[in-house]
Structure 1
Amino acid sequence: MVKFVDHMFPFAVLFVFTLAVQCTLQEMTLTPDEDADDADEDFPSSGKLSFKTPDLDDEHAHSQHMPDALKCDACRHLTHVMQESFDTANKKRPSLKKNLPESQILEIFETVCSSKFDNVGVKEIKGVTRLSGPGLETADVPGVMAGGGKWPSRLMQMCGEYIGDLGEEEIYEAYKEGNLQDFVCRQPGQDCYKHEQKTKNKKKKLDNKTTKSKEEL
């Protein structure tokens, strides 16, 4: 009996330690930033973290289209995947000096746009729902990511729209010139341009409000 107890003691200690860690994680919450907005890329380097599943509104949960607030993140992710795919293809054929045949370029676009996007989803960061995946700073922020559902089809749709609006050759030419993301996402009227303008306007209003408050004092 004594030998049995001695044998089980390390497992009992491990069990208690595991429970303690789980309880600690369950108590961890994120204190929302009052000034956080959906285009903010400055994440807290300290503080409490949230491991709860993102609370999605009707647009995020049910719309067939990518929510406007997430389109810039989506565009940046898609251009990241395109960039990596083009880089991989060109490393295999260095003698072409990035002059891939049209058939291979089209094949790469088809592969990217038909991807399963199983490593992309949404997280709640600083109280704001953000897209998370390769190429996005949100991928490195701790938290629970909710993927699957309508997110893959929304990304496929956006990918096809970019190609239809801008053209395969034009997008690849932008890649060769080193400004793929700017060309696809940041031109006037494009998703990140709209987002950045919206963010600037919000910050300007906040600055004006702060200045006015100081003057009243």
Structure 2
Amino acid sequence: MRLPLPLLLLFGGKAILGSLANKAFLSATAPVLDDEEKFASYMPAHLRCDACRAVAYQMGQHLAKAEAKSHAPDSSGFQELSESIYTDVLDRTCSQNWQSYGVQEVNQMKRLTGPGLSKGTEPSISVMITGGPWPNRLSMTCFQYLGDFGEDQIYKAYRQGHETLEALLCGGTQGSCSQENPVPREEL
């Protein structure tokens, strides 16, 4: 049996609406930011571990791309970069726009989200706030790590693997992700 198009649309629309009636509607609200999260020039303490992990990820990604473009493999077959190149790459990493990062609320806790940050248990729908102070804060955090550790030490850690780089930047007793460091270090 073939139905004329208007009847087919009517029956199809009822079927779609009927199936939607059986589903719960999802809603999400944007995170409510406090004054520190809105206006401070530094990364708030409760977001520093996420920021550190984002910086480590971006440094690793940029260095890996630069090594892939290099044509001088070392004895292990990897493309080792010269000091001038990895220094430039790390500087450009910190100078990038950081627009793909933002903050969202997960289980009533604000978290940075973006490339390289694990999703963990996320709600099925959420709102992420990007732009505003977040890109500048991430850039400043990145440059702070360059100043604290230096390009040579960061590149050496990167060459040992992402976990080593993240441990250098974020771990240790004074690191942003340290359990022993509940008091924020100097404002970034």
The residue that corresponds to 1:111 in the other structure is 92
SS of alignment partner, residue 146 of structure 1:
strand
Say whether the 8 Å CA contact 2:103–2:111 is kept in structure 1: yes
Normalising by structure 2, report the TM-score.
0.78
1:181 to 2:166 alignment: yes
Listed one character per residue, the Cα deviations across residues 85-115 of structure 1 (whole Å, up to 9, x for unaligned) are 2122223336143420122112211221112
Assess if the C-alpha contact under 8 Å between 1:133 and 1:139 holds in 2. no
| Per-residue deviation, residues 107-143 of structure 1 (Å, max 9, x unmatched) | 2112211122121111111111111111112377342
Structure 1 distance, partners of 2:5, 2:166, is 64
1:45 equivalent in structure 2: none
TM-score (norm 1): 0.69
- Of the structure 1 ranges 67-76 and 89-98, higher mean CA displacement relative to structure 2 is found in 89-98
Partner residue, 2:35: 58
How many residue pairs get aligned? The number is 172
Partner of 1:95: 73
Structure 1 contact 122–146 (Cα < 8 Å) conserved: yes
Higher helix share: 1
2:107 to 118, 126, 129: 126
Q: In the TM superposition, what are the counterparts of 1:26-37 in structure 2 within 5 Å?
A: 26=27
Paired with 2:150 and 2:53, the residues of 1 have a C-alpha distance of: 17
Q: Is 1:190 aligned to 2:157, yes or no?
A: no
Segments of 4+ moved more than 4 angstroms = 17-23
Deviations 1:65-88 (A, max 9, x none): 110110011001110111122122
DSSP 3-state at the match of 1:167: helix
- 1:180 corresponds to which letter in structure 2? L
CA shift for structure 1 position 149: 0.8
On the 8 A contact 1:73/1:136 being kept in 2, the answer is yes
Q: 1:59 to 1:17 in 2, by over 3 A?
A: farther
Percent identical residues: 33
139, 149, 155: which one aligns with 2:132: 149
In 2, Cα distance between the equivalents of 1:115 and 1:17?
48
Once the two structures are TM-superposed, the CA of residue 153 in structure 1 deviates from its matched residue by 0.3
CA-based RMSD of the aligned residues comes to 2.6
Which structure 2 segments of 5+ residues have no match? Answer: 183-188
CA distance in 2, matches of 1:171, 1:140: 30
Q: Distance in 2 between matches of 1:14 and 1:115?
A: 49
